[in-house]
Amino acid sequence: MKNKILFLTIAAVGALLITASNGFAYGSYGDNVNAACAPASPYTGGDCDYCHTGGKSDPTEAKDAYSAGGTTLTDYFCPTQPACNDSDGDGYGNPVDSSCRYSAEDCDDTDASINPGAEEDCTDNIDNNCNGKIDEADPDAVGCPIDCTDNDGDFYSLEGGQCGSVDCNDAEPLVNPGVSEDCTDGIDNDCDDQTDCNDSACSGDPACVAESCADYTDRGSCKADSRCNWSGKLKECFEPVVYTQSECDAAGGRWNKKKETCTIR
């Protein structure tokens, strides 16, 4: 009798263990399912209620799909995403929907170079970036021809900028930023807003060198002549006298040994 009871007890425990092992063989595998479905939106209905439709140990389609894994698992659990209608493969759909890489609609889904992310080419008569504006009508277009005004044909224009240096006299081909300053004609030949001897380009030109420093009446002309110094206090140009140290001492001046100059007050 004791042996019979022991046998029944062992059998009952064994059945319970088998049932439990079947029940827990799959465990709570929602995380595994979600990982398999990523990056699509995973199943979120609760794996326990969804998978254990009967007893914990009862077989279900969900358990079979989980056990099989691979595409069987993802086909069963993962939601089907709509395919983007993108014939040219540029990531822009027509019509656009949430499955497309970009949210803007492609205006020409037969050409991958035409989409809202493209640059507007100013030379092809096509709306490349799908904003309804073609070539020069699009302010963001690239490669548009530049209109430069050059009435005198010297290759310098009035606009400047992308047209190059500004021509200060577009009626005279010999006046532009590329010519040399004539130091005697009273004209700003090279378009730098400086005329004749006032232009640094004329420094040292015979026409701009006075016989004596005193002939200069402005600081610029005075300083341009290496012979001369300008007195800001007296507003006059003078030629400094070169002294020896003995001459400086005789004149009551102060001799600077380092610079070898004499200062007379």
Give DSSP secondary structure letters for 89-155: -SS--SS--TTSSSSSPPS-TT-TT-STTSPPBTTSSS-TTSSS--GGGSTT-BSPPP----TTSSS
CA distance 184 to 132: 58
Q: Contact 257/248 with Cβ under 8 angstroms? A: no
Quote the pLDDT of residue 23: 35
Structure tokens at 234: 């007296």
pLDDT for 24 equals: 36
pLDDT at 31: 61
| pLDDT tens profile 188-212 | 999 999 999 889 899 878 888 777 8
- Look up the pTM and report it: 0.36
Distance CA 118, CA 145 (A): 20
What is the pLDDT at residue 246?
A: 87
pLDDT tens per residue, the chain (265 residues)?
Answer: 544 444 444 444 344 333 333 333 444 555 666 666 655 555 554 444 445 455 556 667 777 777 777 777 767 666 565 678 899 999 999 988 877 889 899 999 999 999 999 999 999 999 999 999 999 999 999 999 888 999 999 999 998 888 899 999 999 999 999 999 999 999 999 999 999 988 989 987 888 877 788 888 888 888 888 788 888 888 888 887 778 888 888 878 788 888 777 776 6
Amino acid 26: pLDDT: 44
pLDDT in tens, 140-193: 999 998 889 999 999 999 988 888 999 999 999 999 999 999 999 999 999 999
Q: What is the pLDDT of residue 229?
A: 86
CA atoms of 156 and 170, how far apart (whole Å): 8
Looking at the chain, list the stretches that DSSP marks H as alpha helix, in order from N- to C-terminal side: 2-24, 30-37, 47-51, 61-68, 70-77, 219-224, 245-250
What is the per-residue pLDDT for 239?
Answer: 80
What integer pLDDT is reported at residue 30 of this predicted model? 58
CA distances from 202 to 206, 209, 212, 220, 225 (A): 9, 9, 17, 11, 11
